[in-house]
Amino acid sequence: MELIANLATGFAVALTVKNIAYCFVGVLLGTLIGVLPGIGPVATIAMLLPITFNLPPESALIMLAGIYYGAQYGGSTSAILVNLPGESSSAVTTIDGYQMARQGRAGPALAIAAIGSFFAGCVATVLVAFFAPQLADLASEFAQADYFSLMVLGLVAAVVLARGSVLKAMAMVLLGLLLGMVGTDVMDSTPRFTFGIPELTDGIGPAIVAMGVFGVAEVIANLEQRGERRVFAAQITRLLPSKDDLRRSWKAILRGTGLGSMLGILPGGGALLASFAAYTLEKRIAKEPQRFGQGAIEGVAAPESANNAGAQTSFVPLLTLGIPTNPVMALMFGAMMIHGIAPGPNVINERPELFWGMISSMWIGNLLLVVLNLPLIGLWIKLLTVPYRLLYPAIILFCCIGVFSVNNSAYEVGMLAVFGLLGYLFLKLGCEPAPFLLGFILGPMMDENLRRALLLSHGDFSVFVTRPISATLLALAAVLLLLTIAPAVRRTREEAFAQ
């Protein structure tokens, strides 16, 4: 009964005309940036952060959340029709989705992707509503030492679950931690690592880092791509999947939803990991694994269900523990701090209208996304034919305007360019930027909790292993690292990400 009362509170917030409008704007923008290759939800949310300064917190977070899970829907459109994932979590959808389009079955592929995403989104939202309050009650028992250990586990998981070399992922986390230390010391208010530059005394803004590393860098990388996109638009004769398509897909949708919901909660997880894991699972258990890569509809249903489920359950650690599990959640963390809301277990009790309003808006957003994706498929096809050389100046312009509007600082626009080049260097070196951003966001929090824990224990480091919660979290982090070193586990990890 308490859950029903809480959801009633949430729907009272989410169903206002203003919040429905912001939810619509969010999912529309999310679908748009998901359809268009070259800019993802991280850069888009970073660009829109300054716009949300004057909005009510509920409206701002509802819109930003809609961008994230809306991008999971839209990313499948370009993945299926153009063989280019508009969003990174849709990369695995290209394998079978594009083959279906070449065989004249783009319509059923798009429909199954939308059906799977809608079902997974609704189920994941139920799970968030049910489990988040219990996790928040547990988190209320955490002390500073426990929070520090939890963040260590989160960064270790980000390293283990990152694509590519574990050593490179560790280096990216450490670089992020180092840059996160730039600014004013939270304990004694003295500048550190500013090198006498006044603009750095407030630290480096997360929006600058995210837009540079994920937005500008992606634009530069995409400019290297030559050739015209071939869009299989003329072959979309019908959208409704056949009975055989539904028979083959429904189990994959269920498995993808379950797997994505679990992986979305993990630190370092989220939509990207969920989609790859779901595809790998379907291929492993299939009676005819040779069909995968040739246009198997299960290869579209499972990852598209998983990435949407993972996108929505990744809000659980943010709202209950105050820990961002992926780059988008790191920016959502920043958005909440901008509005004076400290993410963590107190949000549910102190701001129930915010917490339950955001959760309730996810159901509304998923319904709006079904309306936007299938009936407007012709519009998305038209957008896919726009040459990228016409899109990238607008992307760069919006990034610069977004950064400049925060503090009216040309210096920060210059920093955007520096981080754009740095992100491009990461791509060239095969270094995934997600662990870098997580390290950057969590670095100051880890520093503060570490020093407060030592202050309370009078400098005794044993507090991190004598507290049961802290010791358990550190032990899990150590086990994760040891398992990654094991040859069999390392091979399995590499095979999963090589799909």
Q: What is the pLDDT of residue 136?
A: 76
pLDDT tens profile 337-374: 878 887 877 788 788 888 888 888 888 988 888 877 76
**Is the per-residue pLDDT at 491 higher than 60?**
no
- Tell me the mean pLDDT in the region 109-130: 86
pLDDT tens profile 74-106: 777 777 777 666 666 677 888 888 888 878 787
More confident residue, 249 or 229: 249
The β-bridge partners of 192 are: 183
- The chain-wide mean pLDDT, for the chain, equals 80
- Tell me the mean pLDDT in the region 287-310: 85
- Tell me the mean pLDDT in the region 414-438: 86
Q: CA–CA distance from 283 to each of 1, 213, 246, 278, 409 (Å)?
A: 41, 33, 18, 9, 51
Greatest mean pLDDT among 272-276, 295-299, 487-491: 295-299
Residue 241's CB: how many other CB atoms inside 10 A?
Answer: 21
Q: CA–CA distance from 21 to each of 14, 66, 117 (Å)?
A: 10, 11, 21
Estimate the share of the chain in helix, then strand, then coil, as percent rounded to the nearest 5. Answer: 75, 0, 25
Alpha helix stretches (DSSP H) within 266-376: 271-285, 298-313, 315-321, 327-338, 346-350, 352-373
Pairing, β 191-192 against β 183-184: antiparallel
**Is the per-residue pLDDT at 230 higher than 60?**
no
CA 68 to the chain's CA centroid: 7
Enumerate residues 6+ apart whose C-beta is below 8 A from 205.
Answer: 403, 406, 412
Enumerate residues 6+ apart whose C-beta is below 8 A from 451.
Answer: 187
Does residue 388 contact residue 219 with C-beta atoms inside 8 Å? no
Residue 290's CB: how many other CB atoms inside 10 A?
Answer: 9
DSSP secondary structure letters along 207-259: HHHHIIIIIIHHHHHHTT--S------TT----SPPHHHHHHHHHHHHHHHHH
Of 418, 422, 389, 423, the C-alpha closest to 403 is: 418
**Is the per-residue pLDDT at 267 higher than 70?**
no
**Is the per-residue pLDDT at 233 higher than 60?**
no
- Tell me the mean pLDDT in the region 466-474: 88
| Amino acid present at 64 | L
Tokens of 270: 């989220």
| Amino acid present at 57 | P
Q: Which of 13-22, 229-238, 259-268 has the lowest mean pLDDT?
A: 229-238
Q: How many helices (H) and strands (E) in the chain?
A: 24, 2
More confident residue, 110 or 389: 110
Q: What is the pLDDT of residue 1?
A: 62
Residue 123's CB: how many other CB atoms inside 10 A?
Answer: 21
pLDDT tens profile 377-388: 777 777 767 776
More confident residue, 232 or 164: 164
Model confidence at 116, pLDDT cuts 50, 70, 90, reads confident
**Is the per-residue pLDDT at 178 higher than 80?**
yes
Enumerate residues 6+ apart whose C-beta is below 8 A from 289.
Answer: 283
More confident residue, 364 or 228: 364
Q: What is the pLDDT of residue 135?
A: 77
Q: Distance between CA 465 and CA 471 in Å, rounded?
A: 4
DSSP secondary structure letters along 137-148: HHHTT--HHHHH
Does residue 151 contact residue 258 with C-beta atoms inside 8 Å? no
Model confidence at 232, pLDDT cuts 50, 70, 90, reads low
More confident residue, 493 or 160: 160
Model confidence at 22, pLDDT cuts 50, 70, 90, reads very high
More confident residue, 491 or 65: 65
Does residue 11 contact residue 20 with C-beta atoms inside 8 Å? no
Q: How many alpha carbons lie under 13 Å from residue 346 in its C-beta half-sphere? A: 7
pTM of the model: 0.75
Q: What is the pLDDT of residue 143?
A: 82
Q: What is the pLDDT of residue 86?
A: 63
Q: What is the pLDDT of residue 20?
A: 92
